[in-house]
Chains A and B, each alone.
Chain A
Amino acid sequence: MSSQNSNTLRPLDDLIIRIANNQDQQAFIELFEQIGAKLKAYAIRCGALDGEAEDIVQECMLTVWRKAHQFNPKTASATTWLYTIVRNKRIDMARKTKYDVVLSDDLWPEPEGEDLETDVARDLEGKIARTLLHGLPEEQRQIVYKVYFEGKSHSEIANELDLPLGTIKSRLRLAMKKLDTLAQEQMTWLIIILLTNF
């Protein structure tokens, strides 16, 4: 890999595919070195203590090792796939001691048959999300963080920031509008969806 664009997600894809095809331990180590510390940071940001976060990362990496064959680069980027795994482990680790609770397998059952996904997701790969995140002013980004890391609803965010609900909604709308100008071509359909609902 001598690409000048060493920030692309390609290498992670390749590592996961090598794990899937060859049970390649070296690839596993490289993957861990690239993403492990971020997985841990994510878990901590979601409220896990240091030791709990390490448990979550361990479960997450073991799942990567065992289920690498389920990774499909045509439907999701490596970081998106890894995100879904760490999200699910975070849910399950916190709840495994309780009975009759909802687990991640209930919410996201493994696909039964061929998972026919559209090209839309792949085409948008990374671009939207990256644009969304980095193109946003802090006050708009803060709201997205609160939904993802703290599970806040718009009205809870409004209370917490001591702002009117309308302001939260209009900031999100602004966020989406900003995206519209930044990534017009791919984004049009998404913008329509988001603008009409937020």
Chain B
Amino acid sequence: MTLSTTTQLELHRMMMLIRLFEEALEEMFSRGLLHGTMHLSIGQEATAAGACLALQKDDLITSTHRGHGHCLAKGAEPYKMFAELLGREDGYCRGRGGSMHIADLSNGNLGANGIVAGSLTISVGAALSFQMQKKDNIILCFFGDGAVNEGSFHEALNLASLWSLPVLFLCENNQYGMSMATDKAVAGDSIASRGNSYGIESIQIDGNDVEGVYENVLNFKNKILSSGGPKFIEAVTYRYRGHSKSDRNLYRTSDEIEYWKEEKDPIKRYIGKLIESGISEDQLKDIDTDIKDLIRKSVKQALDSPLSPITNLEEDSYA
């Protein structure tokens, strides 16, 4: 598949947006502006960008604790995300959710989830709605390698397969669940083979190759829509930062981190490819400048916006 230049530039733009958004968060955190912790996806941008750009606006996603990238790629506004992390009224969840729990229903993001594997069974229910309501949509369920050892992972895959539900399971295998290396945590063959064992067509792909992610998600999406049933993708990637803000990275070597940064970085790789295919450095620079501008303005706007008012939170607990 050859992608149009527009699509290629959009893939690049989205990866840059995610990276710069999270770098801005890091900076805000170090300035003491953010309460709590956060989980950064720096290094994993290709999976979120490639996957979400292959979806339509009314296709859905569920997301994880490491969900800023999914959220942005599904169309969220940086301003409203910053506002959420800063506890502002304009935030996507009015400051109630924070970094780990952003939902953006307007763009088809059913929400980030702080419970590992918490969204797998939810995605099965959303897929059931699509099926019962005869809609031509899919739900893409993001989860980490750590989630595949929870019971709910297995219950979700089994039922989705039995009932032929339109869900695309996308495991971001960044090779660690917190301090636990995937190969120490997952018995049997690859994570993808677990999908196969439930009769679900499954593949393992390079999660740092943004076009590969895009094409595979698009292909599986089309297959789900034409012949039904779930599909499963294991996208192999790598997280550069600690698990959360309190991680000392004792479980891996700095050589390993450096190797991924230097040799496998999804953004660096894609820039190389784009330039090879004739896109000018100036064009890419313009995109970067626009994003930096957007981030700067969004942060400022969020900091200037009002805090979420203290209303009756007990009333807010019920619909």
**Mutual binders A and B:** no
Residues of chain A at the chain B interface (Cβ within 8 Å)? none
